[in-house]
Amino acid sequence: MNERELRGLIGKVKAGKLSRRGFVQAMMAVGIGAPAAGQILLSSGVAMAQPASTYKPTKRGGGGPLKLLWWQGPTLLNPHFAVGTKDQDGSRLFYEPLAAWDGEGNLKPKLAAEIPTKENGGLSADGMSVTWKLKQGVTWHDGKPFTADDVVFNWEYAKDPATAAYTIASYQDVNVEKIDQYTVKVTFKKATPFWADAFVGTRGMLIPKHLFADFIGAKSRDAPTNLKPVGTGPYMFKDFKPGDLVTGVMNPNYHQANKPYFDSVEMKGGGDAVSAARAVLQTGEFDFAWNLQVEDEILQRLEKGGKGSVSITPGGNIEFLLMNTTDPWTEVDGERSSLKTKHPTLSDPEVRKALALLVDNKSIQDHIYGRTGPATRNFLYGPSRFDSKNNPIEFNVDKANDILEKAGWKKGADGIRAKDGKKLKFVYQTSINQPRQKTQAIIKQAAQKAGIDIELKSVTASVFFSSDVANPDTYTKFYTDLEMYTTTMGQPDPGTHMLQFVSWEAATKDNKWQGRNITRWQSPEADKLYRETEAELDPVKRAASFIKLNDLAIQNQIVMGIVQRPTVSAKTAKLNCNISGWDNNTSDLSDWFKDA
């Protein structure tokens, strides 16, 4: 389908001559998935119809306890500091955004009364502003009313650099003003194609002004409510043991009628992914288990226990390998991996090219992930209109050897290549997780054949993904040469996801390592491409710029996709749960229920 045909279909939808469902079906017929089709309409100012909930409750509560198992337990419950998925999901038990993403990549209201569109006056024609109407009658868990003042405060809180909020990128370049008690207007500095970022989804959870106003800026980490949340969500805080257990009780005043179904919620942390899968699929001890980074063969065997089933939810999450562009072994002003340094050997592009040829994506998929991890070299993987076809998977040890030999990296008596007194010896870290350790072993074995020595480092997941700024082993510190983890794409738009590659998002001591650019790559070309995506209102041209940015990072071997990571969960046979690949796992907890 060419650009002219696409515009014609969009025009028919706007004119009422083609239904939204018909548009999606037409897109799917040419290989564009439903989430991508929904995002095309959203970018063009057309709201997608919301699917009706399958749950028709007649009363609030009565469902008993809901037992969730997160094998990495949350360590804090302030969504603005929630770097890791576990902390974001834990925060979402209690906090809500104005709107959430469903599984098809469509927006649906949470604390908003409606989704802004050009038709209802919420979206400006020039892409310069969006106006949100808030749901009335909503109260915080302590009974205080939720109003526009709370929304404006969250903007002020997150955009203050001294607050050191993980969410700063969503708020620092916009202006938010209160129109009236239940209306706010977000104004952009320039025409903005993806307006559904601030106050939406994972980065949009709202905290109460009356409890955080005294803790903005430098005092942000001192707020008692960081560990004892007071939100608007379906469950009210009961207890929290960081890294271990979060509990909540039903909110009797929840703003959605006859919800939630469960009387209480328990999010248990700890253990490992295999034991989590077993606790649902084999023993039925828990109702739901998160993020099952488990070999597919093991999952299929556990499903035979008959207690539940594995759920695979498509999204844009990627398991990927990062190469440090800075020197993790030299300290400058109390900081390793400083922007003032360059990596002693990975700064050679020939070394990076060789390493890329030593990643055997296909074997990793075939022997470890199976149906739960399609191989890919891309970092940007979905929605489908953002998929690059320019990065084929190539595994070739002989070619890697040839590249290194020609670049002057010669093997010594110990079999390790060296040049100018520097050896190709790297420390490669990731979290403790069986598939990841097996992936490390595959890459290490190939590297040895090319004269590269790799030391494997495995860090306890709760430490590796910790939000503790004093912890030297977090993935954001990146105090090694190579590392690997999954990065989540929390919305069906690459804007936030691709901040991995812009200079102003480098994770540093100054921003408490909250920046998303973990490799610290500094590329004027990458910065320019990203800026183009911020200003381009045409969804087709904008997608092309994102593809170019992905290709630039992949072809410079700054990062390498290993496998795509759909959301893999386990649920008991009677549990009905909505999981979106574009939002938190717990984003629709109010709709979860059990069959009788």
Tell me the per-residue pLDDT of 9-26, one tens digit each, with 9 for 90 and over. 776 665 455 655 556 556
Give per-residue pLDDT as tens, 452-483: 999 999 999 989 998 888 999 999 999 999 99
Q: How many CA atoms lie within 13 A of 10 on its CB side?
A: 21
**Whether residue 7 is found in the same domain as residue 113:** no
Q: What percent of the chain has pLDDT over 90?
A: 77
Residue numbers of the domain that contains 146: 101-223
Q: Is the pLDDT of residue 389 over 90?
A: yes
Q: According to the model, what pLDDT value does residue 357 have? A: 98
> Which element (helix H / strand E) includes 462?
helix 461-464
With both helix axes pointing from N to C terminus, report the angle between 397-406 and 434-449 in degrees, rounded to the nearest 10: 50
Please report the pLDDT score of residue 46 as a whole number.
44
More confident residue, 237 or 16: 237
Decide: pTM greater than 0.85.
Answer: no
Model pLDDT, residue 313: 87
Specify whether 52 is located in the same domain as 107: no
Residue 584 resides in a domain = no
107 three-state secondary structure: strand
Percent of the chain at pLDDT > 70 equals: 91
State the pLDDT at residue 19: 55
* 20 and 116 assigned to the same domain: no
Range scoring the smallest mean pLDDT among 12-21, 121-130, 549-558: 12-21
The verdict on 36 and 148 lying in the same domain is no
| Strand ranges across the sheet with 559-564 | 453-459, 425-431, 482-487, 318-323, 559-564
- Per-residue pLDDT, averaged over 520-526, amounts to 98
Q: How far is CA 176 from the centre of its chain?
A: 25
Q: How many domains does the chain have?
A: 3
Q: What is the pLDDT of residue 47?
A: 39
Residue 209 pLDDT more than 80?
yes
Task: Say if residues 515 and 507 touch (Cβ distance below 8 Å).
Answer: yes
d(CA 270, CA 274): 11
C-alpha 477/C-alpha 496 separation (Å) is 20
From 326, 373, 328, 361, select the one nearest 486 (Cα to Cα). 373
Question: What mean pLDDT comes out for the span 50-67?
Answer: 77
Q: Does pLDDT of 308 surpass 50?
A: yes
Mean pLDDT on 562-576: 93
Confidence of residue 489 (pLDDT cuts 50, 70, 90): confident
Average pLDDT rounded to a whole number, residues 381-408 = 94
Same domain, 538 and 488: yes
Residue 79 · residue 156 · CB < 8 Å: no
Asked if the structure places residue 244 within a domain, the reply is no
Q: Do 212 and 325 share a structural domain?
A: no
Strand-pair partners of 184? 132, 178
Query: What value does the mean pLDDT of the chain take?
Result: 91
Between 84 and 205, residue with greater pLDDT: 205
pLDDT of residue 33 exceeding 60: no
- Confidence band, pLDDT 50/70/90 cuts, at residue 230: very high
pLDDT at 556 over 90: yes
Distance CA 456, CA 33 (A): 38
Closest to 281 measured CA to CA, from 591, 594, 573, 590: 573
Query: What CATH number corresponds to the domain at position 514?
Result: 3.10.105.10
Looking at mean pLDDT, say which of 52-56, 245-249, 370-374 comes out highest: 245-249
Better pLDDT: 28 or 410? 410
pLDDT at residue 496, rounded to an integer: 87
Residues 342 and 400 in one domain: yes
Q: Is residue 290 part of a domain?
A: no
Q: Is residue 41 part of a domain?
A: yes
Residue 399 covered by a domain: yes
Please tell me the predicted confidence (pLDDT) of residue 18. Answer: 64
Residue 397 lies in a domain: yes
120 and 44 share a domain? no
Residue 48: its pLDDT value, please? Answer: 39
End-to-end CA distance of the chain: 47
- Residues 518, 404 within the same domain: yes
Q: Are residues 408 and 506 in the same domain?
A: yes
Residue 539's SS3 state is helix
* pLDDT confidence of residue 35: 47
Give the pLDDT score at 293: 81
- 470 belongs to a structural domain: no
178 contacts: CB under 8 Å, gap ≥ 6: 148, 149, 151, 152, 184
* Tokens found for residue 446: 């190939």
- Final residue before a domain boundary, out of 200, 223, 246: 223
Residue 149 maps to which CATH number? 3.90.76.10
Instruction: Look at residues 223, 243, 264 and tell me which one is the last residue of a structural domain.
Output: 223
* pLDDT above 90 (res 45): no
Regarding whether 325 and 398 lie in a shared domain, the answer is yes
Confirm if 526 and 552 have CB atoms less than 8 A apart: yes
Residue 530 domain flag: yes
Model pLDDT for residues 74-114, shown as the tens digit of each residue: 999 999 999 888 999 999 999 999 999 988 788 999 999 99
Cβ-contact 497, 380 below 8 angstroms: yes
Same domain (yes/no): 377, 493? yes
Q: Which of 265-269, 378-382, 546-550 has the lowest mean pLDDT?
A: 378-382
Looking at per-residue confidence, does 23 or 536 come out higher? 536
Torsion of CA 552, 554, 557, 562, to 10 degrees: 170
User: Position 138: which residue type?
Assistant: V
